[in-house]
Chain A
């Protein structure tokens, strides 16, 4: 049932010893079947929405595609810092790149292509309670992944399908996504090293 394809890639991590080969496991009959089903379902949906458009022209067609929205855990903002406008509504917006005499905990560690980047590449000058895309579109902090995705498109794609980052909840149902900023400080995104938990005791019968 299972067909294996050996892909001769990544020799660096892999030992030269032929013992373990890289292997992609796919079941082709299954794939074909699934593809068929998918096409069938897709065309049915298309028909249905066309029907909705023609027959119920005035009714808003609700997009029920789950995959376009992500249930995320609350952004890990410092307590009390939000809304930013508590302070910023009193402050004169200043687009100038300069040394700030505030937000030391950020300017002190700022290391994200810092030479070419300024706070206002990501934060909005006028509306400090929002993030800002390069297009000028404002973003809720809950959607910061879209901001990151502007420059890290491949990572965003993997995140959406659950490969990069982490989802919790049900493997077969509702999932909650960790935002990029739960793991990467947006101002210094390198993943920090961790203290390991203790090693196993020596006398254990492990091989």
Chain B
């Protein structure tokens, strides 16, 4: 794992000689391999298997538990979409914490992939006057509505185009992913994302061993390192196995809907065809696959 840091400094420093000298002097042979690891997308099946095996061993050593790291690719004829019923959401934040647990977000320092914004009904969707820290006895609060925001899984993502090392991209099933082994932590993608949906590990992420989810995906919830960017992946480790994302299953009001946009029988298609639907910051032409709708 340490090798990644060296590679990162390598790319930052640009100076080839200094960096490689540094890397060579500080790495044993196995790490050196990782230093020159190819991008996930260009790896052969055999190389992926080998890398997965090593990761599983690393994680087992670190957390004292057996890990499963999947590299399951996208299924044909699948394009994932999400819809959130703003008329139902009551702002209870159950989704925020279900996501943290499922996806191994750092507890301290705290990272949340989902932000629930409280807004005033009078003002409508208005990010400038939204409040993420609301904390009354009971929700919903009179005169307010709630807008949970997470990665909008854009068809036309700005974050991936600005990445100088192509460590983030859109998968064939529409999920925008990050290769944490490849990310150099430059945070250009965070600046490019108009939804504030990407989060940076400023410090070593910290997840207690008894809280860690060992069912992981290479491009999703596997343990991260200091200095990498992370974000919602629609729970890639679950949805590629046919399951619903964790936030969908936990929502007590049933405001969260998920499915295959290419399947005319899916609830997501029903919603797009029958309900009033909006996307956030439409004018930016990011074309989210995360929709908001009015169920009533």
Contacts and interface: CB of A to CB of B under 8 A. Distances in A.
Contacts of B258: 171
Interface in B95-114: 96-97, 109-112
A35 B111 CA distance: 44
B134 A171 contact: no
B28 interface: no
A18 B278 CA distance: 13
Given A168-B244, A191-B253, A196-B93, A158 B295 contact: yes
Interface residues of B, number: 69
Contacts of B9: none
Interface string B12-33: 0000000000000000000000
Interface string A109-152: 00000000000000000000000000000000000000000000
Interface residues of A, number: 54
B277 A200 contact: no
A183 to B, nearest CB: 7
Given A15-B123, A171-B260, A173-B242, A200 B145 contact: no
Given A164-B254, A204-B110, A24 B272 contact: yes
B277 A197 contact: no
Interface string B173-201: 00000000000000000000000100110
Interface in B236-261: 239, 242-244, 249, 251-254, 257-260
Given A24-B277, A161-B267, 16 more contacts: A16-B124, A19-B281, A20-B280, A25-B272, A38-B264, A163-B257, A163-B274, A168-B249, A171-B244, A193-B90, A194-B139, A197-B92, A199-B93, A200-B112, A205-B199, A206-B132
Closest 6 CB pairs of A and B: A15-B124, A166-B254, A162-B267, A207-B196, A197-B93, A193-B138
